[in-house]
Amino acid sequence: KERNPGEPEFHQAAEEIIESVKPVLDKNPEYRKHKILERMLEPERIVSFRVTWMDDKGEIQVNRGYRVQMNSAIGPYKGGLRFHPSVYPGILKFLAFEQVFKNALTGLPMGGGKGGSDFDPKGKSENEVMRFCQNFFAELTKHVGHRTDVPAGDIGVGGREIGYMFGMHKKLSNDFTGVLTGKGVGWGGSLMRTEATGYGLVYFAENMLNRLSDSIKGKVCLISGSGNVAQYAIEKILHMGGKPVTASDSSGFIYDEEGITHEKLEFIKDLKNNKRGRIHEYADKYKTAKYTKDTNGASNPLWDIKADCAFPCATQNEVNAKDAQNMVKNGVQLIGEGANMPLTIEAINIVIDNGVLYSPGKASNAGGVATSGIEMMQNYLGSYWPAEEVDHRLQKIMKEIHDTSLIAARHYGFEGNYMVGANIAGFTKVADAMIAQGIV
């Protein structure tokens, strides 16, 4: 903490890993001798730069851009770009650190990184977003490359932004290579990449339930967020016969007791992806739904609705100890993290202690980066794979992450603890590669 002052999110992510891997370090003194944890906690490189752009009024705007290149022991840096006013190095370091373990869990050769800007896309015109993306990538392009560092999307960065950044990269480099993932299908993108994080999350949950001879079918599900991850989690829950009943944005949430149907989901997609509207408009259109404004209270009433499963898909620390207690009280039996670190450490302890099935984001939201890895493979080969093929690989990877996490947990005496298992499995893979590559 003294080494990284003022970065509480990074401390939180680091504490979770340090705690989980203690038994591994005790059993394998090599890791301590090689100072693996200390090395993992220090980014290999952080790039910070100015992004200057002109708004529609002709005024000059100045933002900050970053890329945290955390660890490249098992492959090129890989991880998303986040555009949100809250972005600062502490958030990106936590995300990049998590990404290292997540990418290792996918079984694909990808190191970990994360980047972004404090730019706020909300309320900006199409042209302003384009100018910002172009200026952001005019600098970032110098630090990335298809064998060096391959960014993707995250909060505030979807297909539109990836397109503008890719365009700038191509113009400056005169090179059509897969320097970004999440590209449009038809210019290097993979089918199913858009759906992958949300779908993968629900595949993971299905694996957890199947282990107990149960399934998503018939389960009432709470979802937060209404962006990329939330939309496709809702879609896959519907495919599997579950009943999604909530969605949210940073202003509030809707609760549709009758369930969000395919038709209503199409409304959300159009509202959020094309019209860039607010979730309360759902309740204006569908009278079955009730809208609750974000109260910024001690707990979020979204997590106090009676349900079987909960999928937080918005942002970090959106579920606190009180929310966790409410879920336990209401009989929630499974919590699958779609967002990165949506549960506080206290919330995690409460749900695990009360026997709720809990999957950490680094395991259950890894489907997105896994499919980015599949996009990279297609780009290297210069080919396109059909949606069924990509979906098949995604399902297989989610099952493997599920099983690997369980086996690692069992090996160290934490039967059924997906959090400890995922942390240990990711850690040992990267640690072994670092030892093999010497002191660099």
Position 229 contacts ligand NDP (CB under 6 A): yes
- Nearest residue (CB) to ligand NDP, 207 versus 340: 340
DSSP 170-183: HHHH------SSSP
- Which among 35-43, 64-72, 131-139, 334-342 is the span making contact with ligand NDP, rule CB under 6 A? 334-342
Reference 209, options 229, 230, 237, 228; nearest CA is: 237
- The amino acid at 137: F
Q: Interacting stretch for ligand NDP, rule CB under 6 A, among 23-31, 238-246, 256-264, 336-344?
A: 336-344
The tally of CA atoms less than 13 A away on the side-chain side of residue 431 is 22
Map the footprint of ligand NDP across residues 36-65, applying CB under 6 A. Answer: none
Q: Please state, as a whole number, how many other Cβ atoms lie within 10 Å of the Cβ of residue 388.
A: 10
x/- map, 256-285, ligand NDP, by CB under 6 A: ------------------------------
Window of 48-56, 151-159, 284-292, 320-328 that interacts with ligand NDP by CB under 6 A: 151-159
Q: Residue 106, annotated ligand binder?
A: no
What residues have CB less than 8 Å from 250, skipping those under 6 apart? 294, 314
Specify whether 114 is catalytic.
Answer: yes
Counting runs of H as helices and runs of E as strands, what totals does the chain give?
Answer: 16, 13
Question: Taking CB under 6 A as the rule, does residue 228 contact ligand NDP?
Answer: yes
Residue 177 known to bind ligand: no
Q: Which stretch binds ligand NDP (CB under 6 A): 17-25, 59-67, 155-163, 324-332?
A: 155-163
Does residue number 378 form part of the binding site for ligand NDP (CB under 6 A)?
Answer: no
Q: Does 155 bind ligand NDP (CB under 6 A)?
A: yes
Dihedral over alpha carbons 309, 314, 317, 320 (to 10 degrees): -40
Query: Is residue 344 annotated as involved in ligand binding?
Result: no
**Which element (helix H / strand E) includes 310?**
strand 309-312
- Residue tagged active-site, from 114, 124, 264, 429: 114
Is residue 12 part of an annotated ligand binding site?
no
- Whole-number Å distance between alpha carbons of 338 and 340: 7
Concatenated DSSP letters for 23-71?
HHHHH-HHHHHTTHHHHHTS-SEEEEEEEEEE-TTS-EEEEEEEEEEEE
Q: Is 102 annotated as a binding residue?
A: yes
- Interface residue with ligand NDP among 141, 181, 226, 320 (CB under 6 A) is 226
Is 197 marked as binding a ligand? yes
Q: Is 129 in the site for ligand NDP (CB under 6 A)?
A: no
Q: Are 402 and 209 in contact (CB under 8 A)?
A: no
Establish if 115 lies at the interface with ligand NDP (CB under 6 A): no
The nearest distance, CB 227 to ligand NDP, in angstroms, is 2
Residue nearest to ligand NDP (CB): 227
249 binds ligand NDP (CB under 6 A): yes
* Beta strands 246-249 and 252-256, pairing class: antiparallel
Interface segment toward ligand NDP; rule CB under 6 A; list 65-73, 227-235, 404-412, 418-426: 227-235
| 151 near ligand NDP, judged by CB under 6 A | no
Task: Quote the CA–CA distance of 102 and 235 in Å, as a whole number.
Answer: 23
Q: Tell me how far, at minimum, the Cβ of 195 lies from ligand NDP, in Å.
A: 10
254 binds ligand NDP (CB under 6 A): no
Q: How far is the CB of 345 from ligand NDP (least distance, A)?
A: 17
Q: Considering the rule CB under 6 A, would residue 320 count as an interface residue with ligand NDP?
A: no
How far is it, in rounded angstroms, from Cα 29 to Cα 1? 24
Residue with tokens 């879609």: 235
Q: How many CB atoms lie within 10 A of CB 52?
A: 11
Neighbours of 241 (CB within 10 A): 11
> Cβ(157)–Cβ(116) under 8 Å?
yes
* Residue number, 148 or 250, with CB nearest to ligand NDP: 250
Comparison of 227 and 242: residue with beta carbon closer to ligand NDP: 227
Is 78 annotated as a binding-site member? yes
Tokens of 41: 């906690």
Q: Which of 156, 163, 188, 189 binds ligand NDP (CB under 6 A)?
A: 156
Burial of residue 383 (CB within 10 Å: 0-12, 13-18, 19+) is exposed
Which of these, 187, 191, 185, 148, lies nearest to 166 by C-alpha position? 187
**Known binding site for substrate: residues?**
78, 99, 102, 153, 372
Which residues are tagged catalytic? 114
**Known binding site for NAD(+): residues?**
197, 228
The footprint of ligand NDP (CB under 6 A) covers 153-156, 158, 197, 225-229, 249-251, 313-315, 338-340, 365, 368
